[in-house]
Amino acid sequence: MMGLRFHFCFLVLCACLILPITQCLAQTCLPEELAALFIFGDSLFDAGNNNYINTTTNFQANVWPYGETFFKYPTGRASNGRLIPDFIAEYAKLPLVLPYLHPAYPRYTDGANFASAGAGALNVESSSRRGWVIDLNTQLKYFKNMETVLKRTLGEAQTKKLLSRAVYLFSIGTNDYAAPFSTNSSLLRFSTHEEYVDMVIGNFTTVIKEIHRKGGRKFGFLNLPPAGYFPSTKAIMPENSEEITALVKRHNKALSHALQILTSQLEGFKYSYTNLYNFITEGMNNPLKYGFKEGKMGCCGSGPYRGIQSCGGKRSIKDQYELCGNPSEYLFFDSAHPSEKANEQLAKLLWNGNLDVTWPYNLKALFGQKQSEIN
């Protein structure tokens, strides 16, 4: 009798242990507290997608000395080391989020990086970079393709859970305002500043709404940096500096307003908005405050301010470029992109910055929110 009772209890215990597993035998189960990170944007966030498209070397960072500080080889990131999303993934206890186009990246439960150097919110058909970059609408298309793959591996319910828990991080728009001045684009010639910014914001918010429709609820945004004062702008087109800056300021104001409207329109929509503009401006004007020796010149490049895009010697300027001795002393690594040290400082502002720099939530708060708190 005692043996039968023990046998019965053992079977019950096994059934209890096996039940949660057998419910997911045909599919992959998600860890209960997983919050994935999905990344959209431009060269500030591109972890190497442009390595895998037919583009020019001007939109790639896959040559030495890019990546020298952390990875010890060029990964496609436009910095000497890690980018802002790399640090955010670390803080959120996620692995590095690989580029979506990486050929050996079949798993998306931790997130995916869709960003492309040179990308903007405008469609490539209407931009000056047609065919060379992955614009925001195409990044959205890739996201939808990824959702289809997730549904096949996780099932409908688990995919919905993953997408609703995830954080969606954006850096987009700088190229929409800077690129037309360095190309033959006619967009700005036939639009007022207000009309042009409205077009960029309109494309951007359409993508946000579509991700929300797919289940996204938690979003992180950087406003645009003072691109009119980048080393590249000051070296190549200083006469356009003030107009680019005026457009960027108008965009930042419009984006802040648009996000407030989306909060009232979209169920469960929560967002974090970080003031990149002020950080870069202060870093350029007072580099010592942030531990830099140089705030207005790039570490790698040539010409005035090392603002000519020649870092690595494989771009339109071949073989000739200058490289500083210590990138951590510089706000900018090349003509337009922060050093790894600056990226880390920015990531910390996104992650746990106070309301002076990041509002109405920081990313730590968004990653920490449970599903019941955002619906």
- Among all residues, which ones are annotated catalytic? 43, 334, 337
Number of Cα atoms under 13 Å in the Cβ half of residue 120: 26
Residue 319 CB partners (closer than 8 Å, separation 6+): 313
**Angle at CA of residue 59, ends 54 and 61, nearest 5°:** 105
Longest Cα–Cα distance of the chain, Å, equals 94
Residue 95 to residue 86: CA distance in whole angstroms: 8
**Cβ neighbour number for residue 332 with a 10 Å cutoff:** 30
Residue 179 to residue 185: CA distance in whole angstroms: 8
Q: Nearest CA to 38 among 274, 248, 212?
A: 212
Cis geometry, peptide bond prior to residue 65 (ω within 30 degrees of 0): yes
Residue 4 to residue 13: CA distance in whole angstroms: 14
DSSP letter string over 175-188?
HHHHHHHHS---TG
> Residue 172 carries which side chain, given as an amino acid letter?
I
